[in-house]
Structures are given as structure tokens and as C-alpha cells.
Amino acid sequence: MITITQQRARCIGCNYCVEAAPHRWRMSKRDGRSVLIDAKERRGFWTVKVTEEELAANEKAAQLCPVKIITVKQL
């Protein structure tokens, strides 16, 4: 398993994470920030646990994120 985390308040809505991992990210029409699908929020950090199949795409999202608010960790 891996965990993906997003510090959502700092998102600038560039869409790169959605392009890199479209099954795990989408853009919110409400506030223009990206949404980490199925994630739960705690103190501003949104986190979801998924299988390793999603590792490569989400590592790419983390690399591409211009404000570096995405982290991916292998458990």
C-alpha cells in the first residue's frame, strides 16, 4: 500500500496532478483546487491509502506539482 497526501489549501489549481493521475485526482468546480479522490482531511492535509498500482502516476503528480504539496509514501 501507499499513502498519498495533499496540503490542499496551498493548491494553485494548475491541473498537473489530474493529468498525471486522472483516476486519483480531479479539479473542483467550486474552488478551482484539485481534489484527491476518496481522501480524508485532518488539519488541512488530505490523505488516502491506495495500492501500489497507483505509485508511478502519483509520484509523477508529486514531481510535477509546482508548489510541492503532494507527497507519496510507501508503507
Residues that bind ligand SF4 (CB under 6 A): 6, 11-17, 34, 64-67, 69-70
Least distance CB 51 / ligand SF4 (angstroms): 21
Backbone angles phi, psi at 56, to 5 degrees: -60, -45
Least distance CB 28 / ligand SF4 (angstroms): 10
Q: Which is nearer to ligand SF4, 2 or 64 (CB)?
A: 64
Least distance CB 35 / ligand SF4 (angstroms): 9
Spell out a b/e string for 8-44, using b for 16 or more CB atoms within 10 Å of the CB, else e: beebeeeebbbebbeebbebeeeeeebbbeebeeeee
